[in-house]
A and B are shown apart, each in its own frame.
Chain A
Amino acid sequence: MPTTPTLYLPGTSYLHRLHPLSKLVFSLASAVIIFGGPGGWVSAFFPGLFAMLLLWRAGLVGEVTRTILRLLTPFAVVLFLIHGFVNPQNQTILLRLGPVALGQEGLNFASLIVIRLTAALTASLLLMVSTHPSDLIQSLVEIGLPHRLAYLLGSPLLMLPQMVARVQVIQSVQQARGLETQGNFFQRVRALFPLVAPLVFSVLVDVEDRSLALEVRGFNAPNQKTSLTELVDTREQRAARWIMIVLAGFLLIAGIGWRMHGGH
């Protein structure tokens, strides 16, 4: 059975070898600066560029660019069309096409949004493509994430392929029984329950077993838990994480001040 495809790309680059928390803090600090920092697009552009350079040094920039294009292209096209042509704030007309006009203000706004999202995606993909999900979860447990939350973050990734397989079985069974998936709106709404309910029932029945299996393997044992593997951390990385946190906090405060004085 295949495992869930995640954004993770196996590899041995320097980014892969960094402690997951260092990459997580980088992503989160970048997001704070991108959406909260002063100076509009400037605050978004530089963290994004920096993330791109880090990815380029690790040889991951091609893959990340493809993912960003896949995720953002349809969105960006619609965004530019809507804000370029129908944003009521448009005053400076760049181009007239019969009844509609392309406005400067809308385009500026759309550009800002696209720059921000590209930057935030780059920074978060830096974490995702170079960190195995279980390492990320383990690093969070090491700084105090409760094991129960770790379970909730980790187990769905491994359960998903089984569920998808079951979904396909139920789909084909119901279609073989002549479930109406083509008819009019109300026929299709009526088809929903027989399609969804058996799957949900079958999955809920397993819930008890799963919880018992966890219990008998000491998931709730009263002692301190240990870990088979150890994540490599360094003093430099620890320092870098604190610097990023302080920097993001500082730029967030600066950004709030900037907005209070009329910045957009």
Chain B
Amino acid sequence: MSLKEQLKKDFSTITLALMAVGIVLNIALGQVVSLLKLPIFLDSIGTVLVALLAGPWAGGLTGLLTNLIWGMLTDPVAAAFAPVAMVIGIAAGLCAKYGLFKKWWQAIISGVIITIALSIIAIPIRVYMFGGVTGSGADFITAYLMATGRDLFSSVVITVITDNLIDKVVTALLAWGIVKGLPKRFASRFPRANSVTE
């Protein structure tokens, strides 16, 4: 089967429209959240929502494309982290598929799993391409750890995990709550929503 046919089969038009909206949510929601001054960026909420409603591949693609579009919009550096965003979608979709998004406490576990999965991809990119630095507040953790004698790699491991854990757990909880609250008539358009709602 060609890539074209495969895509056609996996992604109906409504899934496609959902993914486009997911990408926009990833980019636009950061603004709302900055209002609350929390250590949360919520820049993968759309990815996780798509993963819950339409499965791991749709979720992964939503994440990947979000960062490529971010690269076009403001900052080409974001494109370098596209594989990380993709892993978030795939991990969330797999968690849902295997029944880890039915209860709120399961959503928390899924958030932890997503963090671990994304770290595996994010750490090499951060270390090799960016010298372990991101230009954000998280760099203080890296600096502190290195000052206490750790090497760059293990410092970045700890930074990436602490920096992402709260965000991904909150994201997973929010996505779970939103999918639970969707009108039945809407959720029924996405067969995968069952894995959360039932």
Q: Give the nearest-CB partner of A75 in chain B.
A: B135
A204 touches B7 (CB 8 A): no
B123-143 vs A, Cβ < 8 Å mask (1 yes, 0 no): 000001111111100010011
Closest to B53 in A: A204
> Which of A10-18, A76-84, A231-239 forms part of the interface with chain B?
A76-84
Are A207 and B3 in contact, CB atoms less than 8 angstroms apart? no
Chain A min CB distance to B190 (Å): 10
A155 to B24, CA, bound (A): 9
Query: Which of B23, B36, B61 has most chain A Cβ within 10 Å?
Result: B36
CB-CB < 8 A to A156: which residues of B?
20, 23-24, 27, 65-66, 69
Give the contacting residue for A117; candidates B20, B27, B130, B143; CB below 8 A. B130
Contacts of B182 in A (CB 8 A): 201, 204
The answer to whether A82 and B143 have CB atoms under 8 Å apart is yes
Asked whether, in the complex, the Cβ of B73 is within 8 Å of the Cβ of A7, the reply is yes
Picked from B29, B170, B189, the residue with its CB within 8 Å of the CB of A208 is B189
Number of residues on chain B facing chain A (CB within 8 A): 70
Q: Which residues of B contact A201 (CB under 8 A)?
A: 178, 181-182
Task: Tell me if B32 and A117 are in contact (CB < 8 A).
Answer: no
Pick the residue among A128, A181, A200, A214 that contacts B76 (CB under 8 A). A128
Residues in chain B near residue A215, CB distance under 8 A: 13
Q: Are A5 and B69 in contact (CB under 8 A)?
A: no
How many pairs, one residue from A and one from B, have CB atoms within 8 Å of each other in the complex?
197
Interface size on A, residues (CB 8 A): 71
Flag whether A33 is at the interface (Cβ < 8 A): no
Known: A7-B74, A117-B129, A200-B49. Is A192-B38 also a contact (CB below 8 A)? yes
Contacts of A205 in B (CB 8 A): 186
- Pairwise interchain contact A192-B170, C-beta atoms closer than 8 A: yes
Instruction: Verify if B147 is at the interface (C-beta below 8 Å from A).
Output: yes
Q: Is B109 an interface residue (CB 8 A)?
A: no
Question: A residues within 8 A CB of B128?
Answer: 35
Write out the residue numbers on chain A whose beta carbons fall within 8 Å of the beta carbon of B143: 78, 81-82, 86
**Cβ contacts A150-165/B at 8 Å (1 or 0 each):** 0111011101100110
**In the complex, which residues of chain B have a beta carbon less than 8 angstroms from the beta carbon of A53?**
none
3 nearest A-B residue pairs (beta carbon): A75-B135, A113-B131, A211-B14
User: Could you pull out 24 A-B pairs where Cβ atoms are within 8 angstroms?
Assistant: A78-B135, A82-B133, A82-B143, A82-B146, A86-B146, A87-B146, A88-B146, A110-B131, A117-B130, A149-B65, A152-B20, A157-B73, A159-B24, A160-B24, A160-B28, A163-B24, A163-B25, A188-B37, A192-B33, A192-B36, A192-B40, A200-B178, A211-B14, A211-B16
Given contacts A136-B72, A181-B36, 18 further A-B pairs with CB under 8 A are A5-B74, A6-B72, A35-B128, A71-B77, A82-B143, A85-B147, A86-B143, A128-B71, A146-B4, A156-B24, A171-B35, A188-B38, A189-B36, A189-B170, A196-B33, A196-B178, A201-B182, A215-B13
